[in-house]
Amino acid sequence: MFSKIKYLKDRHVTSSQFKWVGLILSVAVGVLGFVFLGLGLHIRDLNWGLDIAGMVLVTIATFHTFLWFFVGRAMKNEELLNHKNTVLESDLRAREKELAKSVSQLRRTNLDLEIVNKELESFSYAVAHDLKEPLRAITGYSNILVEDLGDRLEKDYGKMLAKINKAAISMGNLIDGLLILSRVERAEMSISNVDLSSLAKVVVDNLQGRQLYRNANFSIHDDMTVKGDYKLLTVALQNLFENAWKFTAERNVTNIEFGRTVRNNETFYYIKDNGVGFNSAYADKLFGEFQRLHPKGEYDGTGLGLATVKKIISRHGGKVFAEGKEGIGATIYFSL
């Protein structure tokens, strides 16, 4: 039996053909059995033997029919499975080709992007150098005029030269701020454990070193370690502390706190000050480029500090927002 099945399968017989072959063989055996039974009725001397032979053949035919039916069904299932496997393999090969093509395109795009970034960085530095060179000349010559002429300068002219010098310095700071913002957007990140507590203390020491006369209290929580890019987080903390330091300059005592809290099951870090604060209705504008909530001449700055902070926090997959009240102070929160 099984040798016949193997013989037929080896010759690529389909399940339908297989079932028909089995049915024909079963019918042939069944007919032969009934022939023997019929002969047994007419030949009395062989009645008993022919009856037994006929019953055996009919039984074999019945068994043979069921066997071939189930084997045919198994072959049909196998054919369906083989067809599905063929379709899946074809689909897999097509997807592999598409993936290989996408990877190739992505590599070309990344290569082009790297080239553009390098060209843009070179262009930025070249432009910055070309812009800052005349600014340094303006600052230098105005200082020379003030030093050489001194008391011979009329009071109004002295004020004008001071304004020219201050404007040139402000322009230089603006160019530096734009370069920092540009680098923050393109810089490759190196993730590691960063101790924000220790980093904040270094930033605070630098701030106090510039204005030793100020009466300031700094509260920095301990053990605030995060995963992030050390250089970018240093720039973020510098901008945040300088922002708080700037807007608390008019206070008799400056209070600045750097800590950690949990809001809606999410950890946030914050810098809180007792400075001039702001109208909370305009909180979203704080983090835009060149956005100011106070008159330009009232406080120094480029309007890029908090925009740079937002870029850095966004690159770490975090959030940043601010809360405050006019005349009371401000708190800036960020997550990583």
Assess contact for 184 and 308: CB atoms under 8 A.
yes
pTM of the model: 0.57
Mean pLDDT (the chain, rounded): 76
Residues 6 or more apart whose Cβ sits within 8 Å of residue 191: 227, 228, 229
Residue 258 has pLDDT above 80, yes or no: yes
Report, at the CATH architecture level, how domain 190-334 is classified: 2-Layer Sandwich (3.30)
Spans of all domains in the chain: 1-186, 190-334
For 286-305, the three-class secondary structure string (H helix, E strand, C coil) is HHCCCCCCCCCCCCCCCCCH
| Confidence label for 209 from pLDDT (cuts 50, 70 and 90) | confident
Backbone angles phi, psi at 267, to 5 degrees: -80, 130
Alpha-carbon distance of 236 to 205, in angstroms, equals 16
pLDDT in tens, 13-58: 455 555 555 556 555 555 555 554 555 545 544 444 544 554 555 5
More confident residue, 3 or 259: 259
Residues 6 or more apart whose Cβ sits within 8 Å of residue 17: 8
